[in-house]
Structure formats: C-alpha cells, structure tokens
Chain A
C-alpha cells in the first residue's frame, strides 16, 4: 500500500513549518536516509529524510508552502510494484481526507492533528492528591533504660559502627575518613574495626566520589558518603539531585540509590562566606531526597541509623558546633528513630517555636529567658526537613495560636518560610498573630567576629519575636 509522508515535527515545540524545497520529484526513487525535502522551522532549516524505500508517487504540498501543520501529508510514496494509479489508496491518517490543494487551508490553521493529543492536555483538571505517608512514632524507651551522656560526635560514630556491624553492604567513603580518623573525628576507630575495604579514604574529588557513591548504591551497596563539609558538596550537588534523588522515579521504581550523604553543614565559627551556609532549604526542595538535620545526640544516633537503613537517598546535615555537645542517649540494643517525625522538645501553651539543628540552641535559650518573664513556649524540633512533619506543627499552633520559626540559613525561601506558608494555609483561623521567621541575615557570612555575630540569628531576636507574636513586646 502506498505510504503517506507526513510533515514531521523536528523539535520538541514545533507545530508547523514551511516546506521550503523538494529535493526529489514525482517519479524519483528513494531509499531510507535520502533527503527528500527541506523544511524551515522557526529555528533552522532542516532536512527531511525518507524512512522507507520506494518511489515518490505524488507531491501533495508544493514547495514554498508556508505554515504546514505537523502531520499533514506532504507526499505519497509508492512501494515496489505500485504505480501512480495507486496514490489514492495511501494509508489514511486523520488529515488524509484533505485534498492536496486544500492543505494550504489546513496550514492556515484549521488545526487538524493526525496524532492524538496527549491525554494530559485534555483532562488536566484531575491532578491526583499527593499521598500521605504514615510515619511511626518514636519507639518507646522502656522505663529504667540507662541514659548515657554522649556527644553528638560519639553518637554519629556509634550509629555508623552499629550499622556496619549489622550490614556488610554498608561502607563509608570520604576525605580523611580512614587513616586520619575523620577531619572532625566522626569516623574515629572505624578503620581499625572494619578495615580499609569498608572505610575508604578518597582523594579530594567531591564531584567524582559522590558519583561513585551513587553508582555503588545503584548497584546495591549502601554507601555513607562523608563530605568534609556540605559546602564542598556544592561541587557534587548534581549527583545528589540528578543522580541520587531522581533515579527511582526515572526508572519507574526499578532501581534507586540507597545512600547517605552526611557531614557538617551551616556556619561553624569564623570560617567565612564559602564555608558557612546551611543547605537545609536547598536539599529540602528536592523530591526523591530525605533530609535530616538533628540537634541532640540521641536524634543524631537514632536518625543516622534510620538513614543508613533507608532505601532512599538521605542527606544528613550535621553541625560542627554541635559535635562536641553532650546529650543523654538511651542505652538500647537498637535505637532507631523515624525519619519524618518532628519531636516536641518542650511543651508550652503561649507560643510555638519551630526549629531544627543548631537553630534549636537559640530556641532553647530563648524559651528559658521567656519562662522567666512568664511566657510559656512550646518548642518543636523538626529533626527532618523532608518529608516535613507539618502535622505536629499545626497541632501545636492550634493550641498556642502563635508561631516563630528559627534557623541559621538565609532568609529567602527558607525552611521557616515554607513552614509559615503551610501553617497559613492549613491553620489560618488558628493564628492570632502573623508568623515571624527568624533566620540568618541576607548576607554572605562575614569573617570579622562582630559582623559574623550580627549575621547569625540571636537569642535576643528569638525572644523579641516571641514577644511580638504574643503581643508582649
């Protein structure tokens, strides 16, 4: 049967083009790959190649015709043994009822598409609701469990050691993690216990080793990739976002990247602009990632163990200043906490402070100060930035009717702004005051001690914010 040659789409957005020139005439033989015509699009002049072998039986659209819609038949190709008399029998497409001399009309905009429009364009109205994941509560800590004062540093190390004992596929790689025992001594002792095969010193090559980690995860291992600081992960961010976070979706669920990226995040002390920024909001933006940012040692341990076991890529944001701080950690065989669950750090009735990571230090001190002035603050430690536990926040706001968020990161598009926007949408009627978001200042981190202090949030700012939302200022 004769084959209709259709006006091709030659770019993702092309809807019509000009048939500039025919390079073959009626009666010419063509084989696959022969250039038969030239088409002008808004971007370029493109060649149209024959896909099938045969003879040009009839040219339907004359050279020089402008605005030919994609999928309009432009010629008829005769196969072996067919003659010009067969032209009319060409396999019909939706537009093939047009007579050749009418196609200029189609080109004029009668909008006859041969192919079906993707259904999405027809019924764009029914976007399915995002599913709501059920996240378990924290495990019960049995009465009488011994609480061991532990630094965040030790808690992180213990979490990795326990998981490496538990699962042979877990290994750690990064700069100075092995021989040097960790730039911040988080991996102390791991090389001695697990050997160089599982505790891998890398060259200074963040982009490369992040990719190597993701590849190993795609192949079924469970890497922990330590960044000496998350500032250096900027060189590797493509692998976190494009390779790790999206693979499961792009693979239709066939393969993903069970990997943990961890290391210190945010400002340390006097290290200047390039070493001092918080990535909570950056990674919190990306579907396909989990983002954890603990404050206490117990959360650091329980959540890092959960992160290592998690089949998804997890960005685990630590803080250098918190590494040396001591908190009680329950002495349990297997202390694992749920990712995606906020923790009520302190109950209160007058106002809610939502914070996470080192931001909690401001919240806790501010709450103590405010208590002295008779203001009873509830503090929620988000612990996880993604998936974010807004239910716990909304419940608290329903009780206190006032909300202040606290974080060290930059103010625009911050985690606090996301929380504020969501609370406004979900609990507007419960709010008795505008939400205040306390964050780092909108400046690169300065080096000078006095300026650095000004750039970070302060306890005084948090106190002031709580007084403002409670109208006690």
Chain B
C-alpha cells in the first residue's frame, strides 16, 4: 500500500512539473513535527469530523437523513491538515463527500447536521441536503453533486482572486474518480495558462465508488495528472496530518506567490462505503481493518500525544467528551428543528 510505503520514505515527494522546485519538495521530505498545540488542534478537529460522521451514519440508519449520504471517516487528516495550512479568506470547494470540509471551515455542526435532516435551520434551509451546502461567510463554495464540476468552479473562484488582485487561494478538492473527468484537464490548462491561485487536492481514497484506482486509471500517480500543463504535483501521505499540512504549506505559498496552480495527491482511505447504501464488496475486510488499525489519522496523533506526554488519556477523553457533546447537541437540534415552511418551496429560485 503506497501510503504505508511512503510513511517511512518521507511524507511527500515532488516530481514532474517544470517549475516544481526540488528544494521545496525536500523541505517536506521528512515529516515535520507538530508542536503540542498543533497536535491537540488536529486531534480535536479530526475527532469532531469522526464523531459527526458516525452520528450522521447512525441518523441515516434511523431514517432521519434521506437520500445520499457520503461519509468522510478515514480521510479526516486531509481537510484538517490543509485547513491548518490555509488562512482566513482562502476558499474551499469540494464534491459531495463534504461534511468534513464544512466542519473545518468553521461552519456550525448544528447547521450542517440540520441540513442533513432537511430542516429549516440547515445551512441551505433544508433545500440542499448532504451534497449541496454552502457558506458565504466561511468561504465554503459547496458541496457539489456532479462529479468533477467543482474543479472548474474552483478554478473560477481562483480566477476571481487573480482578477481582483487579492492574495486568496482556492482549495479545490476532488477524488480519484473525478480526476478522470474531462473538465478537470480543461481547468488545469486554464489555471496553468493564467497562473491562477488554485490548489487541486486529489483525495485518492483508492476507490471511485466501487472501482479501484487500478481498474479506472491508466496513470495511477495522480500527482502527475498536471504534467501536460506543467503543473507541479506531489504525493502526500494523506493519513498523516503533519505530512498534509507540510505539503499544504508549500502549495499555499506557491500559489499565493503567483506561481499558479499545484496538485497535491492525498493518499487516503475511506473506511465506510461510497455512500450509506454501499455494501463495499469490492475490497476485503482485511484491507479496511489494516488501514484502521495501522494508519488511522486520529490514532496516529493520539499515540504521539501520549508518547510525548503532551496529553494524558484522561485529557484526551475530556476532548472526546467535549466533541461528543457538540455532536449530541447538533443531533438534538437537527432532529427537533422544524422542516422548512411550505412557503420556502418557491423562494431562492431567482433574486
């Protein structure tokens, strides 16, 4: 498993890309250490996503969440590390596996969960659902249900940044499945041509729904998918939040300085099925169990916190308790908040 191999060999490696400076790549060749505060921050943020998603799965099972619901469990280090690398004002856009992305931008878990249950207190007043949510305030641009569409849209957000001469960077997330869509390459071309501040984060969780990367992709090194456009790309151990942040720091600096786009292939893994109704027969139980037990992004941080005596089991339990309470409150709200008023049927169609 590539992720495991890379853990010992270094967090990230840069290849291809005419302007990808080897110097920069080597800067993250050895996984940089986190400070105690960073470890604790990452632990709590990842735990919040984990618990939130477990609750979402549970509520889906109870029929409180309808339609499609794609859980982010296993991939938490990717958004948390990237968010730690970005700054206020940077935009985020992603596909339909979006709950984690929303939580790290600081969106209120109550509003997110209430959207999942289709209630009026949801971010989209209950009219968007799990896959379609936005927050203008938190610079979160969705939440898109069409695979790959967010890549062109994110490129457009980066275009707006350059047009305005702002120093904002747009983080555009998509999966290994979306990476085979044509518009991704149309977007790469324009982003490189116009040097747009766009970071393409390919969350390679190894399965596009039920199709493994090897069965769907002629070039399975997604970091090289921008090679035709001279977009530098690196592979990152997406299970290690420190490696993600280090790669993110480099990419954000690169894009913010006006050098154009960069691709980060995050080698990650989703523990659950593609959506709630996926029996996940395309992979073995052992494979999942191995990832969970050996590479879990949260357990990794936890182990370091304990080992360095930066936190006791009790202190971590207290964090867990606090996170559980936030999620429980959100669930309470999301179950009791009323559905949208019938009059909302015809609102927000046109301004």
Chain A interface residues toward B at CB < 8 A: 6, 8-12, 14, 32-33, 35, 41, 43-49, 51, 70-71, 113-115, 118-120, 126-128, 130-131, 133, 171, 197, 202-203, 205, 207-221, 238-239, 242-243, 246-256, 287-288, 290, 311-312, 387
Contact = CB atoms under 8 A, between A and B. Distances in A.
Given A71-B62, A114-B62, A119-B339, 9 more contacts: A46-B277, A46-B279, A211-B156, A212-B152, A214-B152, A215-B157, A251-B348, A255-B136, A287-B349
A311 B123 contact: no
Interface centre among B55, B152, B185, B285 (most CB of A within 10 A): B152
B311 interface: no
B183 A211 contact: yes
Contacts of A114: 62-63
Interface stretch (B23-31, B126-134, B231-239, B255-263): B126-134
A212 B159 contact: yes
Contacts of B280: 47
Given A205-B186, A243-B149, A10 B156 contact: no
Given A212-B155, A252-B127, A247 B142 contact: yes
A211 B184 CA distance: 10
Contacts of B146: 238, 242-243
Interface stretch (B8-16, B187-195, B199-207, B211-219): B187-195
Contact of B279 (A9, A45, A212, A246): A45
B7 interface: no
A212 B62 contact: no
Contact of A208 (B122, B187, B339, B347): B187
B186 A215 contact: no
A131 B351 contact: no
A211 B346 contact: no
Interface centre among B63, B64, B133, B155 (most CB of A within 10 A): B63
Nearest to A340: B350
Contact of B62 (A9, A12, A312): A9
B124 A312 contact: no
B222 interface: no
A251 B131 CA distance: 11
Contact of A219 (B91, B151, B279): B91
B346 A43 contact: no
B190 A209 contact: yes
B58 A207 contact: no
A67 B225 CA distance: 48
Interface centre among B144, B190, B271, B280 (most CB of A within 10 A): B190
Contacts of B124: 250-252, 254
B326 interface: no
Contact of B190 (A208, A218, A221, A248): A208
B62 A208 contact: no
Question: Closest 3 A-B residue pairs measured CB to CB?
Answer: A215-B156, A211-B152, A208-B186
26 contacts: A32-B54, A115-B64, A203-B193, A208-B185, A215-B141, A215-B152, A215-B157, A215-B159, A215-B160, A216-B157, A218-B141, A218-B156, A218-B157, A219-B141, A221-B164, A239-B149, A243-B149, A249-B348, A250-B134, A252-B125, A252-B128, A252-B348, A254-B123, A256-B351, A287-B349, A288-B350
Interface in B158-208: 158-161, 163-164, 182-183, 185-187, 189-190, 193
A11 B69 CA distance: 9
Contacts of B164: 221
B95 interface: no
A12 B277 contact: yes
Contacts of B91: 219
A253 B133 CA distance: 11
Contacts of B153: 211-212, 214-215, 218, 239, 243
A127 B339 CA distance: 15
Given A203-B190, A287-B349, A12 B271 contact: no
A248 B348 contact: yes
Contact of A250 (B68, B127, B281): B127
B343 interface: yes
Interface centre among A9, A43, A47, A217 (most CB of B within 10 A): A9
Interface centre among A41, A126, A247 (most CB of B within 10 A): A247
B348 A131 contact: no
Contact of B61 (A8, A216, A239): A8
B277 A11 contact: yes
A218 B92 CA distance: 12
Nearest to A253: B348
A6 B62 CA distance: 7
Nearest to B194: A200
A10 B187 contact: no
B66 interface: yes
B60 interface: yes
Interface in B16-62: 54-55, 57-58, 60-62
Contacts of A211: 149, 151-153, 155-156, 183, 186-187
B106 interface: no
A70 B63 contact: yes
Given A208-B186, A215-B156, A215-B160, A12 B68 contact: yes
Contacts of B343: 128
A128 B62 contact: no
A120 B61 CA distance: 20
B199 to A, nearest CB: 14
Interface centre among A8, A202, A288 (most CB of B within 10 A): A8
A11 to B, nearest CB: 3
Nearest to B189: A203
A209 B188 CA distance: 11
Given A10-B276, A215-B157, A218-B156, A248 B183 contact: no
